[in-house]
Amino acid sequence: MKNIAVIGAGTMGNGIAHTFAQNGFKVNLIDVSEASLKRGMDTISRNLDRMVSKEKITEADKTATLANISTFTKILSGIQKADLVVEAATENLNLKLRIFKELDETCAEHTILASNTSSISITQIAAATKPERVIGMHFMNPVPIMELVEVIRGYNTSNEVTQTIMALSKKLGKTPVEVNDYPGFVANRILMPMLNEAIETLYNGVAGVEEIDTVMKLGMAHPMGPLQLVDFIGLDVCLSILNVMYNGFKNPKYAPCPLLVNMVNAGKLGVKSGEGFYDYSESKKAEKVSKQFK
């Protein structure tokens, strides 16, 4: 397995492409937008620069990594020689079903089809294709740094495909953990209710944003407070995952907090929109800089 196709050049897609390319794989990064592909490649280049500055890799390693990545705006063009396709598109079931149907019609028989979905059923996605060769590869953000890969077996995923992906994940320097196909899998089934409860705590007026995050960082040794983490993940992504879990289990403990719903509707999505539970706007950054020199 040497040729990898990654569909989606966003945060997760470019991180997955970066990780495979840095480990010597040939990667075709696919997105419908040239602008998205440019942003994705710029992100990869900046992240590599950061690794060079920290002496984790050499300048030659950076050059080789970038040389391993080619970009495409058409799925058909990018998957011709792929041994593995990793879908990292938006968390939308209908979109994923369309992508996997197209992959089923155009990929070679040996190609393994993986989804980076963080909550949507692999079995449901696999219904659009040959289900025995479909699997979940849930990487963690930021992909080049985080060690875990959740490997999710669909109801019909073959043992051979599962073993291949477990071994491949180890070649990337990751620790794969095999889990079964239930809403939220393991990571988000445990994480999202905690994040939702932090939002409920704010919504109920128990404490403020910084107070809640400080309690969890200092009291529970979390490297990042839960509300800051929601901003980092994206409020819209958290809402989508909670809705998948709520609809899948019909259990009210997974129901999204009304404050989360309202903030998403208002466009306050966290870091990517410039504001969530914290303010990430340019004016706020300038204010922080000015305070440092007072």
The one catalytic residue in 150, 169, 273, 275 is: 150
Identity of the amino acid at 212: I
The one catalytic residue in 188, 196, 240, 273 is: 188
Q: Which of 199, 86, 178, 293 is nearest to 78 (CA)?
A: 86
Query: Which of the 8 DSSP states describes residue 257?
Result: P
The one catalytic residue in 138, 196, 240, 275 is: 138
Q: Supply 215's token pair.
A: 């309690």
- The torsion angle over the Cα atoms of residues 273, 192, 261 and 246, rounded to 10 degrees, is 140
The one catalytic residue in 115, 116, 118, 273 is: 118
Does residue 150 carry a catalytic annotation?
A: yes
Query: Which of the 8 DSSP states describes residue 138?
Result: E
Q: What is the DSSP string of 226-249?
A: HHHHHHHH-HHHHHHHHHHHHHHH
Does residue 118 carry a catalytic annotation?
A: yes
Residues labelled as active-site residues:
118, 138, 150, 188
